[in-house]
Amino acid sequence: MAIIKPFKALRPQPQLAKQVASLPYDVLNSVEAKLAAQGNSYSFLHITKSEIDLSDKIDIHALEVYAQAKDNLDAFIKRDVLFRESKDCYYIYQLVMNGRSQTGLVCVSSVDDYENDIIKKHEFTRPEKEQDRINHIKTTGAQTGNVFLAYRNHAAVDAIIDHWKQAKSPVYDFTAEDGIQHSIWIVSDSEIVASITAAFEKEIPCTYIADGHHRAASAAKVRQQMQEKAPAGASYFLTTLFPSNQLHIMDYNRVVKDLNGLSVSDFLAALGKSFEVSLVGKQMVKPEEIHTMGLYVDGQWYKLTANEGTYSNDPIGVLDVSILQEQILGPILGIMDQRTDKRIDFVGGIRGLGALEQRVDSGEMAAAISLYPVTIDQLFAIADSGNVMPPKSTWFEPKLRDGLLTHLIAD
């Protein structure tokens, strides 16, 4: 069963919450982060993307970057921008985007559960990305990045959270510059805290990583590396748990740099062996059902419908991202490993199909492919089977903000 705990969050003064809150470190590059934090000395990007306070020429993985993050975090605490909660609490985090609301429980989850597959995974991780967060956690003593977990919704947990939201006022409640509303409630009542802990320990057999595989893996490896010197807090890592019926997965699309030596007509002919290829023209093709894709090439959109027999019905083979790899990327374009091949890039659905056209029309890319989103049930089925999805299969929105709730691994 899932082991979760309340914790003493490091969090901003209420009047500074909107200025502190920042997009996750891994959705911004250094240039974007520097621009986002410009003129805002309270931005948590000074901690999660601390290279913005150093020379533009510095390697973002240099030791100086992590040392700067530590200095900035200490300064935030000294300036009383951030303060530590006086007792262990749970936190309720509600996000509202385009009128759709989702509410999660912020807590710390067990590293043991991660290692024993009670926290289930669906993606491989990359060592260099793990090492970046390992260095950040060990240097700052803080888990600043939240791991987004999902669980099969449970009526009793839903009732506790809904009642608390109705009975109490949020400690933070603001709308960010992108229009997403962020509200956080503190659950400090000892009896309610105990009931939430017990509900997960007794009735929820597992949780699933929706977003944050590298953050979770890094937290586990920090404890492994520190061994007997690891503080008690290193046995847990910062998570927000969302019931599955509230989650929204967006499409995660692809752009490719070349057609592997093929002309456009030859490429379309090759696709015709596995797909029904229909010319649409200038209208963007956003797939509305599984096993359909959109293709943008040479200024035109095409609809691709996978032929029967080109995919299997096992949890991995049925995915459109798998069909894409097995029928297009590998055999036609020669892209065998999406994680390492520099000829492919990924565009989250939040950017819209116009971003795909732009990448192709600029000449940077030769073609773009739009995909139907993976469903939460597909994600659960894959994780339950012990398999992993192709890379960059899911894009979750809205994103949790960094800086509102941070877990310090040492008391």
Domains in the chain: boundaries: 4-249+397-408, 252-372
Q: Which two tokens stand for residue 128?
A: 């260099």
pLDDT attached to residue 336: 93
pLDDT attached to residue 74: 98
pLDDT attached to residue 311: 86
**Residue for token digits 């002919």?**
269
Length in residues, the chain:
411
CA distance 26 to 140: 17
Q: Which two tokens stand for residue 135?
A: 């260095």
Cβ pair 239, 109 in contact under 8 A: yes
Residues 6 or more apart in contact with residue 317 via CB below 8 angstroms: 311, 326
Q: Which residues of the chain have pLDDT under 70?
A: none
Q: Which two tokens stand for residue 176?
A: 């960010």
CA distance 399 to 146: 10
User: What CATH topology corresponds to 252-372?
Assistant: 3.30.1760
pLDDT attached to residue 207: 95
CA distance 45 to 47: 5
**CA distances for 218 relative to 61, 146, 211, 234, angstroms:** 15, 12, 14, 11
> Which is nearest to 76 in space by CA: 132, 28, 147, 144?
144
Supply the pTM of this predicted model: 0.86
pLDDT attached to residue 124: 81
pLDDT attached to residue 217: 95
SS3 at position 220? helix
Residues 6 or more apart in contact with residue 369 via CB below 8 angstroms: 253, 254, 255, 256, 293, 294, 295, 296, 324, 328
